[in-house]
Amino acid sequence: MSMPYKFTFDLSKVSRFFFTEIARIGYQKGLHKKAGRTAQKMIKQFKLQEATGLNVSDAVLLLQDLIELQARNLLEREKFVQTRKRALFLPHCSRKYMDSRCKAIFDSNIPSYICAHCSPDCSVNRAVSVAEKKGYDVYILPGGSCVPKILKTRQYEGVVGVACGEEIRISGETLKELGVAGQAVPLIKNGCANTAFNVETLLKTL
Ligand code: SF4
Ligand code: SF4
């Protein structure tokens, strides 16, 4: 996977079919040799540069990471569905508010924010409610460094993580070391504040 992104992106206005296409390509075996060319083609097909303002090389990097993430999810999926004790890690940057309007309380002992469900249209709120109903322990993390801390004190068999590409890559390595089955949901808008993920994709993953 890539170095941390030096650019910001927002895929929230890109056609939904774009993500179907990423899932399809991620499913194909031996895609690595062709990944660069496929990415170029998709950038044209979905007018990605017009929709995001990214230059070609940044768009290619982003796309290759998304495809690779999808392929890894598929490889891990079978192991993941057999797990019982699961956690969901959400990024604090996807909260509707990042100031005092967010009523979540930060518990530094875990460490995690505890959502107070103040805003029905907050993606984090929705994710917390659904995941808890499904039996997940949910964490809203101020940073990726909390992941190993939590995983070392509480033993989970399966983890679903929402984050940007870089955080997913680092946490993915931690999961691997600990033998935990992981599923990742990428941010479709990065930037460390007011970020976004696709809630439907997450719900399907859980
Ligand atoms: S719903 Fe939860 S996470 Fe979202 S802004 Fe309110 S307290 Fe914060
Ligand atoms: S964009 Fe990535 S690095 Fe920044 S706060 Fe969100 S998850 Fe963390």
> Which residues, 6+ apart, have CB-to-CB distance to 54 below 8 Å?
7, 9, 48, 62
* Contact residues of ligand 2, CB 6 A cut-off: 91, 93, 143, 163-164, 167, 187, 190, 192, 195
At 17 the pLDDT is: 81
Find the 46 Cα to ligand 1 centroid distance in Å: 33
pLDDT at 126: 97
190 alpha carbon – ligand 1 mean position (Å)? 18
Cα(25)–Cα(33) distance, integer angstroms: 12
pLDDT for the residue 90: 98
Say which ligand is closest to the CA of 115: 1
Omega before 111 within 30 of 0, i.e. cis = yes
Residue nearest to atom 1 of ligand 1 (CA): 117
How far apart are the C-alpha atoms of 8 and 138, rounded to whole Å? Answer: 27
Closest-CA residue, ligand 1 atom 5, reads: 102
> What local confidence, expressed as pLDDT, does residue 177 receive?
93
Neighbours of 84 (CB within 10 A): 8
Structure tokens at 150: 């939590």
Q: Which CATH class is domain 83-205?
A: alpha beta
pLDDT score of 1: 37
pLDDT at position 137 is 98
For ligand 1, the distance from its centroid to the CA atom of residue 146, given in whole angstroms, is: 19
Q: Tell me the average confidence (pLDDT) per consecutive run of 10 residues in the chain, 206 residues long.
A: 71 83 73 71 90 89 87 93 97 96 96 97 98 98 94 95 91 94 95 94 96
Assess whether the C-beta atom of 164 lies below 6 angstroms from ligand 1: no
In the chain, domain spans: 1-71, 83-205
Q: What is the pLDDT of residue 31?
A: 58
| Atom 5 in ligand 2: residue holding the nearest Cα | 192
Ligand 1 proximity of 104 Cβ (cutoff 6 Å): yes
Ligand 1 pocket, residue 138 CB under 6 Å: no
pLDDT at res. 152: 92
Task: Write down the pTM of the prediction.
Answer: 0.90
